[in-house]
């Protein structure tokens, strides 16, 4: 389904502040409450809105070390890839995991308290997985940009 201007604006408003009430959304959109409520429910049902969440300051909760960890597996059989994925999603330190093209098979975003916690993750969790070949890590020095909202365009526009 195509998104119209009101759908796009509604998604933009919710990405900026998911706590806006339906009345506040309606006021900002220049609409009445019922149609805005129905649009929001439709966008949820159709899968445009996956969930609502709060973004927590990682430093405030003692998770200040961010590592981007590249993982290369020894083999690329389907069951090996699936086993790795099933295991990696269970690790609380892994905030994001992407299956990649290129030299490395996976890119992990690992967030922990400090280097000792990262070493513990590597030695006692990641290295214990079967078929791990090469692991290469880079550490975040400064977060320059971190966006959570997607720019949305009308269908057919670039």
| β-sheet bridge partners, residue 72 | 134
Residues 40-65: tens digit of each pLDDT: 999 999 999 999 999 999 999 999 99
Reported as type and span, the H/E element at residue 69 is strand 65-73
Whether 73 and 133 have beta carbons less than 8 Å apart is answered as yes
Hey, what domains does the chain have and what are their CATH numbers? Answer: 5-45 (1.10.10), 58-139 (3.30.70.920)
- Read off the pLDDT of each residue in 99-105 and give the average, rounded to a whole number: 97
What does the alpha-carbon distance between residue 58 and residue 31 come to, in Å, rounded to a whole number?
37
Whether 48 and 11 have beta carbons less than 8 Å apart is answered as yes
Average pLDDT taken over every residue of the chain: 95
Q: What is the structure's pLDDT at 135?
A: 97
Q: Is the pLDDT of residue 158 over 90?
A: no
| β-sheet bridge partners, residue 96 | 109
What does the alpha-carbon distance between residue 106 and residue 70 come to, in Å, rounded to a whole number?
6
Reported as type and span, the H/E element at residue 80 is helix 78-88
Residues 7-38: tens digit of each pLDDT: 999 999 999 999 999 999 999 999 999 999 99
What does the alpha-carbon distance between residue 20 and residue 25 come to, in Å, rounded to a whole number?
6
Q: What is the structure's pLDDT at 153?
A: 83
Q: What is the pTM of this model?
A: 0.88
- Read off the pLDDT of each residue in 103-122 and give the average, rounded to a whole number: 98
């Amino acid at each position: 389904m195509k998104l119209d201007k009101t759908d796009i604006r509604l998604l933009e408003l919710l990405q900026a502040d998911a706590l806006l009430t339906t009345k506040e959304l309606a006021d900002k959109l220049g609409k009445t409450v019922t149609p805005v409520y129905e649009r929001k429910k439709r966008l949820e049902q159709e899968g445009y809105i996956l969930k609502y969440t709060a973004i927590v300051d990682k430093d405030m909760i003692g998770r200040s070390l961010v590592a981007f960890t590249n993982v290369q597996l020894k083999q690329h059989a389907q069951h090996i890839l699936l086993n790795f994925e099933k295991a990696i999603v269970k690790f609380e330190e892994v905030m994001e995991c992407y299956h990649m093209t290129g030299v490395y098979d996976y890119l992990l975003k690992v967030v922990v308290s400090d280097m000792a916690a990262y070493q513990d993750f590597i030695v006692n969790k990641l290295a214990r997985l079967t078929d791990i070949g090469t692991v290469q890590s880079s550490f975040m020095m400064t977060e320059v940009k971190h966006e959570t909202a997607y720019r949305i365009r009308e269908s057919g526009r670039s």
